[in-house]
Structure 1
Amino acid sequence: MYIRLLAASLLAWASVASVHAAEPARRDWQSLFDGKTLDGWRASEAPGSFNVSDGEIVVHGPRSHLYYVGEVERHDFRDFELQLEVMTKPGANSGVYFHTARQDEGWPAKGYEVQVNNSHSDPKRTGGLYAVKDNYQAPAKDDVWFTLRIRVEGRRIRTFVDDKPIIDYTQPKRPQRPADMQGRVLSSGTFALQAHDPGSEVRYRNIKLRVLP
């Protein structure tokens, strides 16, 4: 009897240990871009605005959005940390959407946009939550790689450029949004990279994510 109880206890302990061992793995950084192809990504109305060169996603062309549709978390994220290396060319405008959903055309109706813009005529600069909590000081320079990090936990959204805090925003329980931005609220969803206009060129590389507990 004692041996049976001991064996059962060891089995139960092993099961619990395996679950706890799996949890940190789920929170490790996972790559969303293989550096070679756009596998796991799908563009909207102008797919030619996105291509891969030298391990980078080159965004250059008419308006389009490149949505992550890959296998990680079945492309549905709630609490997470997303990190990308970014380079803007002079006059470029782009953005990184989160908690969004794929659509065939138009500006994404769902989710938040983190602005990517260091010198475009639009004064809203990199790291701001577009039209919700904007940033008007460029935290990086054109033609230089910088790291953009987005962290979402519950109702709190934080953005960082090269580890410098840019935005720290907690969404109210009843956020007020204009009629054309009713979907700009926290929920869950995927990510998208924005091609804003033919005059903009932005490059992204080393796109990775970790799920937060």
Structure 2
Amino acid sequence: MKPSALVPSILLAASLAAIAADDATPLNLSPAGPTLAQLNAAKDWTPIFDGKSLSGWTGSGYEVQDGAIVCTPSGAFLRTEKEYGDFVLDFEFKLKPGSNNGIGLRYPGEGDAAYVGMEIQVLDDRHEKYKGLAPYQYHGSVYGTARSLQSEKNLLKPAGEWNREQIICVGDHVKVILNGETITDTYLTGIKPIDGNPHPGLARTSGYIAFCGHGDYVAYRSLRILDFKPAAHVLPGNPDNTPPPGFSALFNGKDLSGWKGLLKGPNDKPHVRATLSPDKLAAEQKIADEIMNANWKIEDGALVFSGKGESLATAKAYGDFEFFVDWKIPANADSGIYLRGAPQVQIWDPANPSQFQNGNQKGSGGLWNNKAEGKDPLVKADKPIGEWNTFHIRMIGDRATIWLNGQLVVNNARLEYLWDAKVPLPRAEQIELQNHGNNLWFKNIYLREIPY
């Protein structure tokens, strides 16, 4: 927390209305349980504190005591030597009565972390000296920007006891879980800071992790990190259907394991499909799978579509993820990738004159059904017809970033839900390989799930 936040003058009359309005807005928090299950299953955690020294850290006023990093009375600032962009930080911390600290994210190395980066509050916010806090000053809030559940409900353990916390910072998503319950869950794109101050750090994509102290005792231990830095946008030399580190293969190059047929309309739409009874869904899926098996084959390690039948869908639903798929099409063909069951990342022949009125000459990779941002690709990156292309897609919240053959074609654009503007994009749904009645080829389909 900033020192100025400790005095009543923080509640300036000019900002009272904005703060009160934000305080009245219900928090939209996703549950912690599924997130923690994902984190508990992860196997590639990396410790960032060895429990014995400050190796890997730089700063002053912190020391190691009993296997923990402790802020001393002269403690002001300590940061990692390595930069991180997209990650999950898992740690334990302990406060004394009235303790005040913070965790800087994507900090550039100079300036006030709460503004030039982001600062997650670490505060004994129930102490009497903090009466009158603004909503964005409680423990776990993104300082000045997003309030936490701590402003309504105390989930901190008593001073002197260890707390466990996870901070998810991936793309524009920031989620904080305290002692098993979500307390902050926000998306930064387009967000207006509550405190009315400029926060240019919200736009940063990487930086240091920092402890922002005020000379109060705070202890941190068991610090570890999951790094979700985006993979290289193309994978030259990677053997076919062999996932890169951290990814799983959705297609094994041999059979249709892990895939299912797309149900016929209107049950192809997620919000309609969700209304089917279990028996009706099973019956419809049996028909769809028969059609799939008749028209989707494996040839030379690739999924090949006959040009008849329905699209192909993953058997599993996915929420936030990083995804690779190689594809090729014949002349004049049309296809796409549905994300969370919604159309679509466009695939088509840029030279097909019958589609010029629809903008195919701009190339593949756009979110073609969008009415606004992302509809058209930023650049034309298609390879010649008959050659393999590579999509690299990151889906965070309801926003997609897409690279085609290593070139950025969509930058953090919201995927609109075509089927019904009144229905939000599903938080998790199947990925689909779409067809428009022509031959298609797909291979090297890899996915890394991202906790949310």
TM over 0.5: yes
Alignment counterpart, residue 39 of structure 1, candidates 249, 257, 279: 257
Residue 115 to residue 184, structure 1, CA distance change in 2 (3 Å): farther
Q: Which residue in the other structure is 1:50 paired with?
A: 296
Q: Which sits farther off after the overlay, 91-100 or 26-35?
A: 26-35
Residue 23 of structure 1: how far off its partner (Å)? 4.8
Tell me: higher relative CO, structure 1 or 2? Use CA pairs within 8 A at least 6 residues apart: 1
**Whole-Å Cα distance in 2 between the matches of residues 34 and 21 of structure 1?**
22
**Whole-Å Cα distance in 2 between the matches of residues 85 and 62 of structure 1?**
21
Instruction: Compute the RMSD of aligned alpha carbons.
Output: 2.9
Sequence identity of aligned pairs in percent?
A: 23
Alignment counterpart, residue 135 of structure 1, candidates 376, 384, 407: 376
Q: Are positions 1:22 and 2:40 aligned together?
A: no
Contact 1:156 1:169 in 2 (8 A): yes
Residue 126 to residue 184, structure 1, CA distance change in 2 (3 Å): farther
Return 5+ residue gaps in structure 2 as ranges: 1-38, 46-225, 229-245, 263-287
Q: Which residue in the other structure is 1:202 paired with?
A: 440
DSSP-derived class of the 2:387 partner: coil
**Whole-Å Cα distance in 2 between the matches of residues 21 and 114 of structure 1?**
29
Residue 150 of structure 1: how far off its partner (Å)? 1.1
Contact 1:112 1:185 in 2 (8 A): no
Contact 1:41 1:66 in 2 (8 A): yes
DSSP-derived class of the 2:395 partner: strand
Alignment counterpart, residue 114 of structure 1, candidates 335, 341, 345: 345
Mapping 1:98-109, distance limit 5 Å:
98-100=339-341
Alignment counterpart, residue 314 of structure 2, candidates 51, 59, 68: 68
Residue 138 of structure 1: how far off its partner (Å)? 4.4
Alignment counterpart, residue 191 of structure 1, candidates 431, 434, 446: 431
Alignment counterpart, residue 157 of structure 1, candidates 395, 400, 409: 400
Write the deviation string for residues 1-45 of structure 1: whole angstroms up to 9, x where unpaired.
Answer: xxxxxxxxxxxxxxxxx9596255997110000101011111235
Return 5+ residue gaps in structure 1 as ranges: 1-17, 70-74, 101-110
**Whole-Å Cα distance in 2 between the matches of residues 26 and 38 of structure 1?**
31
**Whole-Å Cα distance in 1 between the matches of residues 301 and 365 of structure 2?**
23
- Give the count of matched residue pairs: 175
Residue 156 of structure 1: how far off its partner (Å)? 2.4
Q: Which residue in the other structure is 1:11 paired with?
A: none
DSSP-derived class of the 2:43 partner: helix
Tell me the amino acid that sits aligned with residue 202 of structure 1.
L
Write the deviation string for residues 114-146 of structure 1: whole angstroms up to 9, x where unpaired.
Answer: 111124433344211121132266421211111
Q: Are positions 1:145 and 2:363 aligned together?
A: no
Residue 186 of structure 1: how far off its partner (Å)? 5.0
Write the deviation string for residues 144-197 of structure 1: whole angstroms up to 9, x where unpaired.
Answer: 11111111112321111112000124339xx6x66x443673521111111211
Write the deviation string for residues 35-91 of structure 1: whole angstroms up to 9, x where unpaired.
Answer: 01011111235423321100000123135111111xxxxx12111011011112111
Tell me the amino acid that sits aligned with residue 155 of structure 1.
D
Contact 2:343 2:369 in 1 (8 A): no
Larger Rg: 2
Q: Which residue in the other structure is 2:326 paired with?
A: 85
Residue 184 to residue 83, structure 1, CA distance change in 2 (3 Å): farther
**Whole-Å Cα distance in 2 between the matches of residues 26 and 37 of structure 1?**
32
**Whole-Å Cα distance in 2 between the matches of residues 208 and 54 of structure 1?**
18
Residue 59 to residue 20, structure 1, CA distance change in 2 (3 Å): closer
Contact 2:393 2:403 in 1 (8 A): yes
